[in-house]
Amino acid sequence: MITRLYLIRHGPTHAKSMVGWSDLPADLSDTAALERLSAYLPADALVVSSDLSRAADTATAIQGSRDRLPHVQALREIHFGAWELRTWAEVDAEDPERIRAYWETPGDVTPPGGESWNQVCARVDAAIDGLIAAHRGRNLIVVGHFGQILTQIQRAQVLTAEEAFGHKIDNLSVSEVAQGPDGWQSGAINHRP
């Protein structure tokens, strides 16, 4: 049985800083884009999101008549720790080696008080695996975040972290991956219906 995941990035926050676990709201004023996205997604899919309001509210906006699963905290964005809500320039002025290593060679480097890319992958992979195990063979609409989506693209396409970070993931885009007897498969990435 194949389980298809439609990974949706939440609506824009318009923040010009690193937004991880801060609960900033999404701008959901582009109702035409939300309607196109909802119409594109399978009508029989289950909808789940991270517990942050920008993802949960986006999920509500595209849910339609689909069934909703409880929010999953483990689907949150990268935990940026001390870098949270700060700009690249601000952090680069204080800790240039660490911030460059974090984004240019993602892996075990962590922001102070935050999590490494490898930790993000482990957290999100476990959450996605749990959803697949509980709803095998179903279509799942997973509304979340840039980093969370990249973890699954990396896994499905068997990429290095650096290759995964080369993908652009726009707000209100859908990236499709599937898991079945033959392993992971990847479909459209960063599609804007």
CATH number at residue 178: 3.40.50.1240
- As for how many domains the chain has, the answer is 1
| Predicted pLDDT at 187 | 96
* 14 a catalytic residue: no
Q: Which residues of the chain have pLDDT under 50?
A: none
Residue found under tokens 């609960």: 23
* 10 a catalytic residue: yes
What whole-number distance in Å separates Cα of residue 95 and Cα of residue 74? 28
| Predicted pLDDT at 99 | 94
Tell me which of 71, 77, 94, 145 is the catalytic residue.
Answer: 77
| Predicted pLDDT at 9 | 98
What is the DSSP-derived secondary structure letter of residue 110? -
E-strand stretches of the chain: 3-9, 46-49, 139-144, 174-180, 183-186
| Predicted pLDDT at 41 | 98
146: which 2 tokens? 């840039």
Range of the domain at 99: 3-186
| Predicted pLDDT at 23 | 96
